[in-house]
Copies of this chain bind each other. A is one copy, B any other.
Amino acid sequence: MTPPLPPAICVLGMGLIGGSLLRATGERLSVSGWSPSEGTRAAATAGGFLAHAELEEALAWAVRYDALVVLAAPLTAFDTLLRKITRYAPEVLLTDVGSVKSGVAQQVSAIVPRARYIGGHPMAGTAESGFAAADARLFADAAWVTCLDDGSRMETWDLVAGLALAVGSRVVPCTAIDHDLAVARVSHLPHLLALALAQVAELGGPLALSLAAGSFTDGTRVAGTRPELLRAMLESNREPLVDAADDALGILGVARASLASTGSLERISTGGHAAREGYNHRNDGLTEFELVDPTAADLIAIGAAGGHLTELTRTDTGRTVRGLSHPA
List chain A positions with a Cβ less than 8 A from chain B: 123-126, 142-143, 145, 172, 174, 178-179, 181-187, 189-216, 218-227, 230-231, 234-235, 238, 241-242, 244-249, 251-253, 255-256, 259-260, 263-266, 268-273, 275-280, 282, 303-308, 326
Interface contact B252-A198, CB-CB below 8 Å = no
Report how far A224 CA is from B198 CA in the complex, Å.
Answer: 21
Interface contact A266-B231, CB-CB below 8 Å = yes
Report how far A186 CA is from B220 CA in the complex, Å.
Answer: 10
Interface contact A189-B195, CB-CB below 8 Å = no
CB distance from A263 to the nearest CB of B (A): 6
Q: Which of these, B145, B179, B209, B216, contacts A278 with CB under 8 Å?
A: B209
Q: A195-B268, A270-B227 are in contact. Are A186 and B174 (CB under 8 A)?
A: no
Q: Which of these, B209, B245, B256, contacts A279 with CB under 8 Å?
A: B209
Report how far A191 CA is from B183 CA in the complex, Å.
Answer: 21
Interface contact A279-B207, CB-CB below 8 Å = no
Interface contact B279-A212, CB-CB below 8 Å = yes
* A325, closest chain B residue (CB): B206
Q: A198-B279, A249-B253 are in contact. Are A263 and B244 (CB under 8 A)?
A: no
Q: A142-B213, A186-B204, A207-B172 are in contact. Are A242 and B260 (CB under 8 A)?
A: yes
20 other A-B residue contacts (CB within 8 Å) besides A206-B305, A231-B266: A143-B210, A172-B211, A174-B207, A185-B204, A193-B219, A195-B255, A195-B269, A198-B275, A198-B279, A200-B247, A205-B304, A218-B218, A218-B222, A230-B269, A234-B259, A235-B263, A235-B265, A238-B263, A242-B259, A249-B256
CB distance from A165 to the nearest CB of B (A): 16
CB distance from A262 to the nearest CB of B (A): 10
CB distance from A17 to the nearest CB of B (A): 13
Interface contact B200-A255, CB-CB below 8 Å = no
Q: A205-B304, A244-B200, A264-B235 are in contact. Are A143 and B211 (CB under 8 A)?
A: yes
Q: Which of these, B126, B211, B255, contacts A183 with CB under 8 Å?
A: B211
